[in-house]
């Protein structure tokens, strides 16, 4: 596989992003409906919680907003990656990606970058709607929120790669696929201060740091170096291991001749 130039990688990223945008624009009802469903679910939690718990519900409202913001991005990154690979296989275009001049690995890397970027767009839109609905304000320092969010989502991307590989090999994994999404909710609420070992799980450390950043105004450089190291290590570790597992499973699917068969 030849070495790709910076210009070629920029073009690849641009075209992958363009394709994603076209798909969103081509099916506006699905796009708007997805965002509306996310918002309506939060609204039910918000208004229902206030009706049941009264003013006491407001004590945990900021944490709820931050957690929902992160989970929304995690769902988007996870679904876009794993779902995109499965869709490419169903369309019969996955084999063509293997013949791309830049190589399948770089194509998947570009798709991952674009998926994470679009996840931030979905999360940002949801965050704005939540803040307007609740009338709350949060500390949104992009120099902190973006890096923490990226490394938090990197661990989810790793899980998405594993699920994509399993889907290519075993085809129907919808039950596990959906179950993991509920797992992300629990991971985002993991009590890492009381149980430090939970920091090595996807989303847990990122959620903890994002909560402190957005509700407490803590900047990235104000976090203990150990916390930042755990965040980066967990994010990169899951992404690398997840892609390695994906590569093994796709090679096995190719040997069996079931890569694009459904």
- The alpha carbon dihedral of 145, 72, 198, 195 has a sign of positive
Helices (H), 92-141: 94-98, 104-134
**Higher pLDDT pick, 30 / 98:** 30
Domain ranges for the chain: 6-256
Q: Tally Cβ neighbours within 10 Å of residue 32.
A: 11
Q: To which H or E segment does residue 167 belong?
A: helix 142-170
Q: Please say whether the beta carbons of 88 and 94 come within 8 A.
A: yes
CB 16 within 8 A of CB 114: yes
Asked if residue 129 lies in contact with residue 39, where contact means CB atoms within 8 angstroms, the answer is yes
Rounded mean pLDDT of 71-87? Answer: 82
Q: What pTM value is reported for the model?
A: 0.88
Distance (Å) of CA 84 to CA 60, 102, 160? 35, 19, 10
Q: What is the mean pLDDT of residues 67-93?
A: 82
Are residues 210 and 145 in contact, defined by beta-carbon separation less than 8 angstroms?
A: yes
For residue 133 the two structure tokens come to 């609905």
Per-residue model confidence as pLDDT tens digits over 85-138: 777 777 777 777 777 777 777 888 888 889 889 899 999 999 999 999 998 889
């Amino acid at each position: 596989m030849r070495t790709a130039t910076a210009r070629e990688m920029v073009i690849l990223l641009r075209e992958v992003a363009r394709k994603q945008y076209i798909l969103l624009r081509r099916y506006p009802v699905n796009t708007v409906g997805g965002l509306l469903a996310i918002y309506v679910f939060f609204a039910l939690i918000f208004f229902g919680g206030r009706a049941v718990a009264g003013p006491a519900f407001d004590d945990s409202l900021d944490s709820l907003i931050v957690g929902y913001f992160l989970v929304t991005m995690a769902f988007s990154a996870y679904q876009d990656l794993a779902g995109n690979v499965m869709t490419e296989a169903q369309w019969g275009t996955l084999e063509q990606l293997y013949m791309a001049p830049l190589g399948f690995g770089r194509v998947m890397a570009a798709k991952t970058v674009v998926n994470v970027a679009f996840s931030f767009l979905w999360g940002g839109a949801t965050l704005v709607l939540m803040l307007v609905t609740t009338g709350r304000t949060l500390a949104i320092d992009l120099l902190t929120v973006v890096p923490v969010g990226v490394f938090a989502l990197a661990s989810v991307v790793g899980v998405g790669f594993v699920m994509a590989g399993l889907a290519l090999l075993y085809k129907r994994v919808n039950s596990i696929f959906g179950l993991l999404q509920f797992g992300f909710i629990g991971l985002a609420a993991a009590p890492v201060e009381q149980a430090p070992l939970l920091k090595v799980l996807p989303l847990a450390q990122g959620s903890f740091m994002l909560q402190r950043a957005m509700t407490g105004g803590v900047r990235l450089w104000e976090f203990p170096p150990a916390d930042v190291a755990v965040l980066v290590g967990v994010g990169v570790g899951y992404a690398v291991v997840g892609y390695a597992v994906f590569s093994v499973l796709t090679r096995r699917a190719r040997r069996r001749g079931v890569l694009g068969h459904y």
